[in-house]
Structure 1
Amino acid sequence: MKNILKPTFLFLIAGFVLLFLTMSLFIELADDVLENEKFKIDHYFQEVLTYTANDTLYQWMTWITEAGSVPLIAISSVIVAVLLLIFTSNKWYSILFSLNMIGISLLTKVLKMVFQRNRPELIAAFDGTGYSFPSGHSTGAVAFYGFLIYLVWKLVTNRAVKWCIILLLGMLTIAIPYSRVVLGVHFFTDIMAGIALGLSWLIICIFTMEYMLWRAKKRQV
């Protein structure tokens, strides 16, 4: 314990607090959805974010939402996993990234079948089919781009480049769930639950990754 630095303690505490908050949020939303609760926040955002196909924001969202589509995330995940296996010295980067993406995909599919919440609108062109809760674009975006942010933080040495990439990935991670509400294929509570679930799973995977890196360093001492 004496060898663990203060920043490590702060990282662990912050991580566990965030994990508790995100899991609590998801459980609370899930419980209300099971009881068929009507959320005022869903009604509010449906009124506020009412756009037509001719609106500029709507057009932008049709492009942004594709960055969280299942085919793009799946193909990109395979590419990233292979690159990590080839170009990083620790195989656990590739293994944990793969588990992160496979795990969130399975969790999302199982939970959609459990809750079977209907969408506000079915639009196949934007992957707006199947059940609504939690939002798959939200869980996938948080898990995928969130882990990329972690990788950039760990592996990119140039400070300016690191923060530019993190900022861009962070904005994209937020924009993808937002696009699902603008396009009308998800309720706001769907994306809240998706972000909470994705972030909870991401934190677990990052903690596991940090533990494996700590073990590797300990063996080298």
Structure 2
Amino acid sequence: MTTPLRWALAALLAFAAFLGLGALVARKPPLGADVEAADLWLGRGTEAAWWLTQSGYGIFLAALGLLALGVTIVLHTGVRRTLLIVAAQVASQAATGGFKIVFARPRPDHWLVRHEPAFSYPSGHAVTAVVFYCGLAAVALGLPIPRAARLVAGFALVGWAIGVAWSRVALGAHNVTDVLGGVLFGTAWFCVVAAVDALVRERRPARA
């Protein structure tokens, strides 16, 4: 099995899991796991959660995306993958909005800081955490810079991604199953980006 095919298969599995969880929670109130997670995290670290949530919105993402693109252009590495990540981020958010309507799950009752009108499943911020932040982490780990710097950048981006996902439960904006669904949907997109990137890499020598 080729590398692109492996990534494509992983994308299909993640998407199937996303649909399965969506069918389970569609139009339903919080599950037991959601209530337990809310008891554990809701209202904890609200200020940090607010800042992490802000980093999942357009202006911050656009600035970071431009910075990442500039770095890859200067270093002549990862430009294509960064562009794929940006494209996947835009497309995945559009698709997320559509699936929110399909599953029509209501938001949690207890909101902190900001009330959003859209349905709850999947969490768009969780999708962003995987597609954008974990995607850029993968790019960072492949940059031609000292290994320590690569690791610091990569792990920092992954840690930030986890924080963004957590913030949605901490602020009461989503149930934990909404976040899990967003992670699964984001993983599917992440794998699609990896599959396309690997396919281009494989075909490039054949064209030379």
TM-score range, shorter chain: 0.7 to 0.9
Please say if residues 120 and 186 of structure 1, whose CA atoms lie closer than 8 Å, have aligned partners that are also in contact: yes
TM-score, L = length of structure 2:
0.84
Query: Is 1:132 equivalent to 2:132 in the alignment?
Result: no
Amino acid in structure 2 at the alignment position of 1:210: A
**Shift in Å at residue 170 of structure 1?**
0.8
Q: Residue 32 of structure 1 corresponds to which residue in structure 2?
A: 24
Please say if residues 137 and 177 of structure 1, whose CA atoms lie closer than 8 Å, have aligned partners that are also in contact: yes
For 1:201, which of 186, 189, 192 is the aligned residue?
A: 189
Change (3 A) 1:105 1:88: farther
Distance 1:129 1:35 in 2: 15
**Shift in Å at residue 31 of structure 1?**
0.8
State percent identity of aligned pairs: 23
Amino acid in structure 1 at the alignment position of 2:26: L
For 1:188, which of 176, 183, 190 is the aligned residue?
A: 176
Please say if residues 123 and 129 of structure 1, whose CA atoms lie closer than 8 Å, have aligned partners that are also in contact: no
Deviation track 1:22-42 (CA, whole Å, cap 9, x = no partner) reads: 223212111112363752111
Deviation track 1:74-96 (CA, whole Å, cap 9, x = no partner) reads: 44335545665676378633542
Change (3 A) 1:27 1:74: same
Distance 1:110 1:26 in 2: 14
Distance 2:140 2:55 in 1: 18
Give matches, 1:42-53, under 5 Å. 42-51=34-43
Q: Residue 73 of structure 1 corresponds to which residue in structure 2?
A: 61
Higher relative contact order (CA 8 A, sep 6+): 2
Give unmatched runs, 5+ long, in structure 1.
Answer: 2-7
Tell me how many residue pairs correspond in the alignment.
208
SS at match of 1:68: coil
Amino acid in structure 2 at the alignment position of 1:46: A
Give unmatched runs, 5+ long, in structure 2.
Answer: none
